Amino acid sequence: MPNVYTFKDFEGSSHRILIDLIQRFAGGGGMLLDLGAAGGELGAAVRDQFDRTIGFEYDVDRLEQLRGRFDQVVIADLETIRRLPAKADAIVLADILEHLPHPLTLLKCVRQSLTDGGHLFVSVPNIANVTVRIGLLFGIFEYRERGILDESHLRFYTMRAIKREMENAGFRIVAIRGSSVPLRLIVPWMPEFLLRIGERLLTIVTRIWRSLFAYQIIIVACADRL
């Protein structure tokens, strides 16, 4: 399950939101597992908040890069993992579940690996985003190399669908956020000051109407012990 995505560090991006949520709900020591670490930028950004960090990645070519950003690196196919090597206080699944044929299997595995009081941090694309809805209105539904309609996506999630998936896996959701449309990736030629204004406006609109304008859905959950 190769990961072709780059780290997104701008206002309203899923990675910036994930970093903020990890620091808020975890980050008091303990163990962090980043399942699908890609280039390891997210793990590196929160590394000082934990006693130990482990990054999991499918692409063996990233090994050397990741070794400088995690205490330990595991090259593994998340589709085949049935047990994680350690109990963790924070586990990250950023842009992963939509690529798996059986995401519920991995979610149940993650639940068993969380410590009491531990948190899972998930991000998935929102198929109900306004850009997809407008496309459907005009009969357009075309796969692309990346984004919500990435050709490698096997699952499509709405806000309701991802909440149901996580609850079925035994999680209780404690926070939900939405990232805004990545304007600077769509129109990189736009002047920086206009990009910043646009990102600020999109962030505000996404907070007001998350189910329609969220580009990605970001969830914080803990194991439901009831």
Q: What is the pLDDT of residue 62?
A: 84
Measured CA to CA, the distance from residue 225 to residue 223 in angstroms comes to 6
Q: What is the pLDDT of residues 164-180, one digit of tens each?
A: 999 999 999 999 999 99
Q: What is the pLDDT of residue 192?
A: 85
* Pairing outcome for strands 31-35 and 88-94: parallel
4-13, 92-101, 198-207: least confident range? 4-13
Q: What is the pLDDT of residue 182?
A: 84
Mean pLDDT in residue range 150-175: 95
Is residue 225 pLDDT above 80, yes or no?
A: no
pTM, two decimal places = 0.92
CB proximity list for 215: less than 8 A, separation 6 or greater: 14, 125, 126, 129, 148, 178, 179, 180, 181, 182, 206
Is residue 1 pLDDT above 60, yes or no?
A: no
Residue 226's pLDDT band (cuts 50, 70, 90): low
- Topology annotation, domain 14-223: Rossmann fold (3.40.50)
Q: What is the pLDDT of residue 9?
A: 72
Name residue 220's beta-bridge partners.
121, 175
Q: What is the pLDDT of residue 2?
A: 46
* Edge-to-edge strands, sheet with 52-57: 72-75, 52-57, 31-35, 88-94, 114-125, 216-223, 171-179
Residue 52's pLDDT band (cuts 50, 70, 90): very high
Domain coordinates of the chain in residue numbers? Answer: 14-223
CB proximity list for 177: less than 8 A, separation 6 or greater: 17, 21, 210, 217, 218, 219
Is residue 7 pLDDT above 90, yes or no?
A: no
